[in-house]
Amino acid sequence: MIYGFNAGEVFQMAIEIEENGKAFYDQAGQKITDPQVKELFAALAQEEVAHKAQFISLKDKLPADAVGQTVYDPENEINQYLKMMADLNVFRTDKQVADQVAWVKSAAEALHLAMQFEKDSIVFFLSLQDSTEEPQGRQLIGQLVKEEQQHLKRLSIQLKNLDN
């Protein structure tokens, strides 16, 4: 089943992904011992909280036509579908996050995993941006992508610092 997502639905997905991202950074940060990477993960976890608040604010500012349903959905299946997509494609929650970080034995492995998740987030949001028809929604989703790109940049710098 393919849906044409509106900006409101995309921002709801972004909110879910930020929640899942915080859970990932919290759990991965507990698993590693490198103090600089622990500090970065703690900062990124807090940024996920701030991003969630930002995305809620952006979603609240969308015009009414950007949050309307694109398909008839009396059973609220779209929200369930969006949650599933966020869980399957980017950061996973609770036990699934623990399963993802269980194999991590070093700071470098944790950084690689975090970078992969951030890359997946960027690709995911760019794909959703393509599925969003309204110009203002597309622009707001672009802001979301820039936030994720900043995370990826910081993780990459930290990985390079470990190598030196």
Query: Could you state, in order of their start, the residue ranges of all structural domains in the chain?
Result: 7-163
pLDDT band of residue 90 (cuts 50, 70, 90) is low
Q: What percent of the chain has pLDDT over 90?
A: 28
Has residue 85 got a pLDDT over 50?
Answer: yes
pLDDT band of residue 143 (cuts 50, 70, 90) is confident
The phi, psi pair for 92, rounded to 5°, reads -110, 160
pLDDT at residue 139, as a whole number: 82
Has residue 17 got a pLDDT over 90?
Answer: no
Residues in CB range of 104: below 8 A, 6 or more apart: 28, 31, 32, 110, 113
pTM over 0.85: no
What's the topology of domain 7-163?
Answer: Ferritin (1.20.1260)
